[in-house]
Amino acid sequence: MKILITLLIVIAIVGLYIFISSIRLKKAVTNLTQDEFIQGYRKAQLIDLRETKEFDAGHILGARNIPSTQLNARYKEIRPDLPVYLYCQNTGRSARAALTLKKRGYNQIYQLQGGFRTWTGKIKSK
pTM of the model: 0.81
**2-124 domain in CATH 3.40.50.720?**
no
User: Which residue, among 80, 74, 70, has the nearest Cα to 106 in the 3D structure?
Assistant: 80
Cβ neighbour number for residue 63 with a 10 Å cutoff: 21
User: Which residue, among 14, 16, 42, 18, has the nearest Cα to 95 in the 3D structure?
Assistant: 18
3-state secondary structure at position 32: strand
d(CA 7, CA 59): 44
Q: Are 94 and 110 in contact (CB under 8 A)?
A: no
Print pLDDT tens along the chain (126 aa): 788 888 888 888 887 766 666 666 566 789 999 999 999 998 999 999 999 999 999 999 999 999 999 999 999 999 999 999 999 998 889 999 999 999 999 999 999 999 999 999 989 887
